[in-house]
Amino acid sequence: MPGGLYLASASPRRADLLRQIGITARCLPADVDESLQAGESASDYVLRLAKAKAETVAARLAHIHEPIWVLAADTTVVSGGEILAKPENFADAQRIWRHLTANDHRVLTGIALWHAGKTAYCVVSTRVDFAGIPEADQKAYWDTGEPQDKAGAYAIQGRAALYIRGIEGSYSNVVGLPLAETAALLRDANFPLWP
C-alpha cells in the first residue's frame, strides 16, 4: 500500500464529502468496539471512537515508509440528553423520530487525524430543527433503506430533507464529516489540500 490519505471508515458518505473538496482517500475500515461506556458523554463517546479508529488503522499501516495520514470520524445524535444510535428496527426508528420531534437535537461528530505518530482531534456540533415525519410517511421512508444505518434514523442529504426545518452549524457535519474542521486538521498536519 502506498502513502497518502486513508479514511478509517466504510461510509460512502464520508468518502463522497472528501471527494467534494477534491480529496481522494483510500477506505480502510477499522474494527473497534462501539459500545457506549458507563457515564460517557456524547462528545467523549464520538471522540474516543474516532481516535480509536484512526489509531487502529495507523497501526495496520505501520509497514508503509511513505508519509501517511489516517482520518477517522464517528457521528451520533443527542436529543433530550439521550444518545440516539442507529435504529434496531422500524419500531425503534419510530421511537427515535418521536424523540427528535419532541426535543431539540444535536448531531455530534468526533474527528481524528493520525499522522507521523500523533493524533489531532476535535468534536463538531450542529443543531437540527426536525419537523417530524408524519405517521403516513414513516413506513415509506423506512422502506427506502435510508434511516436503517444512520444515527438518529434519518439522512439529511436524502429524503429526510423533507422534514428538516433548519440547522445551526455545519451541514456536512450532519451528513457525517464536517469539512471545514477536517480541512483544518489536514492543513495543520501538512496534508496537501490542493494539487
Q: What is the DSSP letter of 182?
A: H
In the set 16, 33, 44, 74, the catalytic residue is: 74
Is 74 an active-site residue?
A: yes
Specify burial of residue 183 (Cβ count, 10 A radius: 0-12, 13-18, 19+).
Answer: middle
* Residue 43: Cβ within 10 Å count: 17
Asked if residue 109 lies in contact with residue 74, where contact means CB atoms within 8 angstroms, the answer is: yes
Phi/psi class of residue 24: alpha, beta or left (left: φ > 0; alpha: ψ in -120 to 50)?
beta
Please, where are the H alpha helices in the chain? 12-20, 42-60, 90-102, 135-143, 171-175, 179-188
Residue 30: CB atoms within 10 A of its CB come to: 22
Non-local (6+) Cβ contacts of 191 within 8 A are: 5, 69, 115
Q: Which residue has the cell 456536512?
A: 172
Active site residues: 74
